[in-house]
Amino acid sequence: MTPRGYAFTLRGQKLMTIEDLGGCLLSKVSRALFATGLGCALAFAGAHAQPQKSVPSASRAEALLQKMTFDEKIGQLVQRAGGRSKALNSRLDAAELERVRAGQVGSYLHVAGAEPLAKLQKVAIEESRLGIPLLFAMDVVHGYRTIFPVPLAMASTWKPESLELAARIAATEATSAGLHWTFAPMVDIARDPRWGRIVEGAGEDPYLGAQLAGAQVRGYQGTDLARPDTLMATAKHFGAYGAAIGGRDYNSADVSERTLQEVYLPPFYAAAKAGSASFMAAFNDIGGVPTTANEALARTLLRDHWGYQGVLVSDWNAIAELLAHGVAEDRGSAGLLALKASVDMDMVGAVFEQDLKQALQSNPHQMKLLDEAVLRLLRVKEALGLFDEPMQYHDVRREKKSLLAPAHRQAARAIARESMVLLKNENSLLPLQPTAIKKLAVVGALASDGLSMLGSWRAQGRVEDVVTILQGFEQAAPKGLEVVYAAGADPRNEDVSGIAAAVEVVKASDATVLVIGEHFDLSGEARSRADIGLPPSQLELARQVFATGKPVVVVLANGRPLAMQWLADSAPAILESWMLGVEAGHAVADVVFGKYSPAGRLPAAFPRAIGAVPFYYGKYPSGRPADPDLSKDTARYMDQPITPLFSFGHGLSYTSFEYSNLQIDRDRIDAAGEVSIAVTVRNMGRIAGDEVVQLYMRDPVATVARPVQELRGFKRVTLAPGEAVKVSFRLSARQTALFGLDNQWHVEPGRIDVMVGSSSTDIRAKGSFDVATGMVVDEPAAALTTVVTLDEVPSRH
């Protein structure tokens, strides 16, 4: 009845299951960080962590600070590139070692390897004056060597436990290779699919984003950051990076304070609450104020109001880019602006390294800001155990056994299966019955493209590790089923000369799996697209394959929601696979051949047209709500339906589910109260499958207009044929709060409507309750977690 957990093993020992990973909001990591002055636990409601007297880290850091020279203090704020993303460690020459000996570097990125980093760390702790260890960092975004599905794909699981497991495995592998710090998770809300970095996040919704942010932080950091297999997380990119105007990467965001607080900041709050030891400032500006220099956002809100005392690192060269923003006259001024905004570390820009000293000498009253930044960095190194056990990350035997371990690949395959979204399945074309087919055509260049399956930010993933989609079908085909392949057309170019040969292969086959979409390099950083339709060569390939009249299943491989109305109208079956990582082929074959019933749900809507973005479900109603009747003047496009092509939360299954018996346990609660909203869900089909039960709410009358729907709970459940479960959501009044006209969070009295269903547009049950009293609260409503419980329901006889 309940979802099954994975057993995660390493070297023959069971380390944890998914259930072990689930957890309290205040982890041991949060408590340890508080003890070192890094935690924000006491800033949050319900957190009661106390300083751990047995850990004298704060006094050690402060004592060390007193011994440091001006230059050594600045050195701690410097992060240098030890190599390039495709040539790790390539810059670690004799000159770099001299910088380390002189205490001029606090961290390196683009480095890896237990043995080479052990040598570098030894120089820092044995040959520098104070022996302060270095931090080694890399963008470990969706796996280190075992590459999991891209983050947008994993968000489609709607299963925080799976993202937590993927992060835990990534941390295990990365730390075995000498790393302490990852620049993940990216928790930016993205409502415009033109933005290339939508592939790196959890989509359009702040509640879903907050739940997945906390899960990933817990996965990376575990329960004790000082353990050798835990990795310091980074919640990025703090601010409203995902709100870039026009979806153009690095562009300005121009959002209201209410939208910032209610939509873009909740995942960051959730990450801080989960104990994320670092944040990264965004590249962009909000209303003309670059985040890297945004004192009101970073120092006042993040540190003073939220109580966050972890490390805040700039993005790549972002401090130097304050000059291009036009808010700093010179590099020294840029460095002071960043320091005043409480940025602690300069990622490769060399502004702190080269220009901060003179700027501070000219502004001696700002010297205390330098000490604050140095202390935060020393304390996080203490929390990681680097002062006591600096070499624990450099066990070459552990590195060899950990990377791409069989249990890691097993988890990658399971999560890849969970990530796929069945968008359309006309006449139940899927699953294909392999024993009923003699020849299966697999068509499309992406079917054999292992590099695209790795996606962007693939860390140490290697193309030779990937099971391609073609290989997956070849290996899964039973005796008597021939799998034939034709590339047809490549999404990277408009060459259609191979389509004719592909069509002949399709004609000679009983069924076809058509793999089309985006090459991995069409999404990611600096990969924004004005045209988010299928590349022309992919459309032409689809047109000619469909024209054969043979049964065709479309498997999409892409890094963003696409505008593809024609494809949705023309294809009988569409399976969204995104970019699934090293086990892509096995996972796709499992789903297409019916070994696993798909149950992923879209974390962001698919638009009907390129000009209809952004199009997200949590919109305000307006004074003239959209109406399908074109004779009425309402908030809609006259040439498009008022619905998206595929809605937020949408996803089909090979089975069907019945919703019944909605129960709301009370009609009225006060501002500090809770209400239980329960529904019975039954598998009405003949095969086992997962259903993602979704809870939405709406405040119909408030002091400010409220979204027409807001996600406030979800649960993915596995049910056998005929099996039923009672899914109960425990919703607090605080989760109905809005950011008011006085810039405070308010629970307001009045009716709250609730909706339970299978997607934002497939609502199966509705009800309401009243909040009797109002109250000022101090937490973003979307960042709070709805407790979900499952109870057995007697089977029907």
How many other C-beta atoms lie within 10 A of the C-beta of residue 69? 11
CA distance linking residue 665 with residue 769, whole number of Å: 9
Cβ-contact 426, 652 below 8 angstroms:
no
326 by Cβ neighbours in 10 Å (0-12 / 13-18 / 19+) ranks as: exposed
669 by Cβ neighbours in 10 Å (0-12 / 13-18 / 19+) ranks as: buried
CB-based contacts of 69, cutoff 8 Å, min separation 6? 103
Q: What is the DSSP string of 91-130?
A: T--HHHHHHHHTT--SEEES---HHHHHHHHHHHHHHSSS
CA distance linking residue 757 with residue 123, whole number of Å: 58
| Selection from 486, 485, 480 nearest residue 438 by Cα | 480
Active-site residue 315, yes or no? yes
Tokens 């990264």, residue?
280
Measured over all CA atoms, what is the biggest interatomic distance in the chain, rounded to whole angstroms?
Answer: 83
CA distance linking residue 312 with residue 24, whole number of Å: 25
CA distance linking residue 91 with residue 82, whole number of Å: 5
How many other C-beta atoms lie within 10 A of the C-beta of residue 273? 29
CA atoms within 13 A on the CB side of 557: 36
Alpha carbon 617 to its chain's center? 19
Buried b (16+ CB within 10 A) or exposed e, 31-42: bbbbbbbbbbbe
Q: Which 3-state string (H, E, C) describes 609-638?
A: CHHHCCCCCCCCCCCCCCCCCCCCCCCCCC
Active-site position among 315, 346, 395, 699? 315
Beta strand 573-576 pairing with 421-425: antiparallel
Cβ-contact 347, 317 below 8 angstroms:
yes
Beta strand 234-238 pairing with 278-281: parallel
Tokens 């407790």, residue?
787
Beta strand 135-138 pairing with 181-182: parallel
CA distance linking residue 229 with residue 176, whole number of Å: 7
Q: What is the DSSP string of 59-75?
A: HHHHHHHHH--HHHHHH
Strand partners for 381: none
Rounded (10°) CA dihedral 355, 357, 360, 364: -170
Name the residues annotated as catalytic.
Answer: 315
